[in-house]
Amino acid sequence: MGKSIKAAIAGIGFVALVPFLSLGSGMISTAVAQSNLPQAVISVVNIDHILKVSKPSKVATEEINAKLKAVDDLLKKRGEELQKEKQDLDKQRAIISPDAYRKKIETLNQEFQSLQRDSQVARAEFNKIIQDYRLRLRELITRQAAEVSAERGVNIGMDSARIVFFDNTMDITEEVLERFNNSNPEPLKITVEQGSAGGEKKN
């Protein structure tokens, strides 16, 4: 811990004791008891950076993109089929009754709308899957950071995203990243309902 940071912590402790000293002997006893607490030793880790560059996160991102592309391709193919049906129907318009044409157009429009809903639902499900998985990875990263901190004799850990400034010697991000890459967390599982776009599940 840098001298400036130690001085800042010491200064905060001193200021905090001033009102206690002015309120009577009971408060003084409390202040003395608090002075026996262990000195704060802080480590800092950039969790967002680890989530972005770690092997488990990259594998999950590649898998989610591949699955999403497969669903998009399926929906796109069905959309092209509906477009062709519409074109064929327009060619038959002169030889079928207006009522029959209207009913078929309504059916096609309903299928187009259903297809759009399927696309929105699939993307929402993919987003939820990746968000839930990232939350689980964040928890695992926090555990790795706690282990590294314990080995260093650290008793306070902080996410660098929530700190204005800190001494670089407190940063354990790279060590946590290395351990996390070697931890082999449970792989991402993807199951998405595709509704009328295909009715199958992608596992």
Give the three-state DSSP class for 29: helix
Residues 55 and 130 in one domain: yes
Residues 1 and 22 in one domain: yes
List pLDDT tens digits, range 187-200.
666 665 544 444 44
Residue 36 has pLDDT above 90, yes or no: no
Residues 112 and 136 in one domain: yes
Range of the domain at 24: 1-37
Are 172 and 52 a contacting pair, CB within 8 Å? no
Residues 18 and 80 in one domain: no
Residues 5 and 103 in one domain: no
List pLDDT tens digits, range 106-124.
999 999 999 999 889 988 8
pLDDT at residue number 199: 42
What integer best gives the mean pLDDT of the chain? Answer: 78
Residues 64 and 97 in one domain: yes
Backbone region of residue 24 per phi and psi (left: phi > 0; alpha: psi in -120 to 50; beta: other values): left
Rounded to the nearest 5°, which phi and psi values hold at 192?
A: -130, 125
pLDDT at residue number 177: 93
pLDDT at residue number 12: 37
Q: Residue 64 belongs to what H/E stretch?
A: helix 55-91
Query: What are the CB-based long-range contacts (under 8 Å, 24+) for 50-53?
Result: 50/141, 50/173, 50/176, 50/177, 50/180, 51/134, 51/137, 51/138, 51/141, 53/177
Residue 175 has pLDDT above 50, yes or no: yes
Residues 20 and 94 in one domain: no
Residues 153 and 72 in one domain: yes
Give the three-state DSSP class for 96: coil
Residues 62 and 13 in one domain: no
pLDDT at residue number 85: 92
Structure tokens at 145: 């950071």
List pLDDT tens digits, range 133-173.
889 889 999 999 999 999 988 888 888 888 888 888 889 99
Residues 96 and 196 in one domain: yes
Residues 33 and 47 in one domain: no
Residues 58 and 3 in one domain: no
Mean per-residue pLDDT for 24-29?
51
Label residue 38 by pLDDT band (50, 70, 90): confident
Mean per-residue pLDDT for 1-30?
42
Q: How many domains does the chain have?
A: 2
